Chains A and B, each alone.
Chain A
């Protein structure tokens, strides 16, 4: 998995690429959570993520919860088809 972060004012647009599984979920977590913790609005682009499992969904849940605590925004702005399918299955947890 690789990532890129664009900065626009207080917004941080995080683009993740590749496959997000147990092996790399900590890398995704350590990329996103500190930005939210610092009070930034985080917009996550998953349009180039080819595979995501429950480890990746857990990162999204943690990010959403932290954003609520920090009273900031955490949003998905684009998702790939594989991610959309996993999100649909996990929807009741999100």
Chain B
């Protein structure tokens, strides 16, 4: 946990649901974390977790075939040193029971992104998406 008091802040941005947007998602997160003065090492980890979650939307919720205008929204908020990152998308509804990283002794690729998210964040929660959204993922981390 950080000893620095981070200012309360909220910011959100919409991105097209495709793999080319992942770089933009990372840039957006870095900009917000700069404003929040989050320490460099933690910033890198948080950017990775957020990019992996966005990648899961492109890859799994839309199976790499979203329409060219389809959007996902990333919202970063910080309140009382608690960081919350929310994702909204209109892809296939996610069954939280099926979202898991693979077993450690299974050396096949895949499932690593979910493992990274769970390693980096304090909590990962799937909530009911309110219209027009279908999926609403919330990642939290105490700073």
Contact = CB atoms under 8 A, between A and B. Distances in A.
Question: Do A and B come together as binding partners?
Answer: yes
Interface stretch (B19-27, B76-84, B89-97): B19-27
B25 to A, nearest CB: 10
Contact of A55 (B44, B55, B107): B55
Contacts of B68: none
A76 interface: no
A10 B82 CA distance: 53
Given A19-B23, A92-B104, 15 more contacts: A21-B22, A22-B19, A22-B22, A22-B58, A23-B23, A53-B51, A54-B55, A54-B113, A54-B116, A55-B55, A58-B109, A58-B110, A62-B109, A85-B41, A89-B119
22 contacts: A21-B19, A21-B22, A21-B51, A22-B19, A23-B19, A23-B20, A23-B22, A54-B55, A54-B113, A54-B116, A55-B55, A58-B109, A59-B109, A62-B109, A82-B44, A86-B48, A86-B116, A89-B116, A89-B119, A89-B120, A90-B112, A93-B107
Nearest to B120: A89
Given A22-B59, A85-B44, A93-B115, A53 B20 contact: no
Interface of A: 19, 21-23, 51, 53-55, 57-59, 61-62, 65, 82, 85-86, 89-90, 92-93
Contact of A93 (B19, B44, B112): B112
Determine the main DSSP class of A at the interface with B.
Answer: helix
A77 to B, nearest CB: 21
Interface residues of B, number: 25
A57 B112 contact: yes
Interface in B97-111: 104, 107-110
Contacts of B44: 82, 85
Given A22-B19, A23-B23, A54-B116, A61 B108 contact: yes
B100 to A, nearest CB: 14
Interface string B30-56: 000000000001001100100110010
B33 to A, nearest CB: 14
